[in-house]
Amino acid sequence: MAASSLSSAHAVLGLLGLGAALLVPGRANADIYTYTDAQGNVHVTSQPVRGGKSGGKMDRITSGDGTKSRKKAAQLFTVSMPSDRSPERFGRYDSWIREGARLYRLPEELIRAIIKCESDFDPRAVSPTGAQGLMQLMPATALRMQVRDAFDPRENILGGSRYLRVLANMFNGDLELTVAGYNAGENAVMKYQGIPPYEETQGYVGCVVGHYRAFKALDGEGLRSAR
């Protein structure tokens, strides 16, 4: 992706960081566990639960930096690709998008662009790597962002928005790096000191920034019909 094609996107979030400067990810280096209870429900926790209490097998899906979570989660969750095609879905979550933008001082259009590229506004979507819901939160990220139910639209949007704010603070408001971190993880962005050289991540940055610009150019009614 050519840097010049996104140059106007730099520092979009830069002036928004002061109000949330103390927001940092909690327990970023904690182990993350999952277990399946007697009813077959998958739970994610930072505390190991004894088999007798959980009624099922406990599995550690990340150790410290989260590098194992994608592979492990892929083995635990059933893939569900976006399937909701109703035009109404584009305006269905407006109030929670506004709430997330207000709480974490983010542009509404950025949250909306992330949702568009991640799940196409389908709250039941599950990726092959186990990312869940509207903003496709990995189980470890959802736990860090205090999300109890990633399939609850409001919880998912607020958790995803909180993570965006953490990333925006970390990368000094640089929009491209914030978006790249959301896809590849903050460690990958820091390792490469820029957008990681992953085809998926580079395409993702283009998708989000492109929709971000398009949403900013539309009025409220236009957002509802954007595809």
The closest of 57, 24, 25, 22 to 38, measured between CA atoms, is 57
Distance CA 100, CA 90 (A): 16
Does the active-site annotation cover 118? yes
Q: How far is CA 81 from each of CA 71, 125, 136, 180, rounded to the nearest angstrom?
A: 18, 5, 11, 22
Half-sphere CA count of 147, side-chain side, radius 13 A: 30
Is the distance from CB of 130 to CB of 92 less than 8 angstroms? no
User: Looking at 118, 155, 176, 186, which residue is catalytic?
Assistant: 118
Residue 14 burial class via C-beta count within 10 angstroms: exposed 0-12, middle 13-18, buried 19 and up = middle
Is the distance from CB of 194 to CB of 177 less than 8 angstroms? yes
The closest of 10, 211, 29 to 117, measured between CA atoms, is 211
User: Rounded to 10 degrees, what is the CA torsion of 3, 121, 61, 141?
Assistant: 60
Q: Which residues contact 140 (CB under 8 A, 6 or more apart)?
A: 32, 44, 61, 62, 66, 69
- Residues marked active site are found at 118
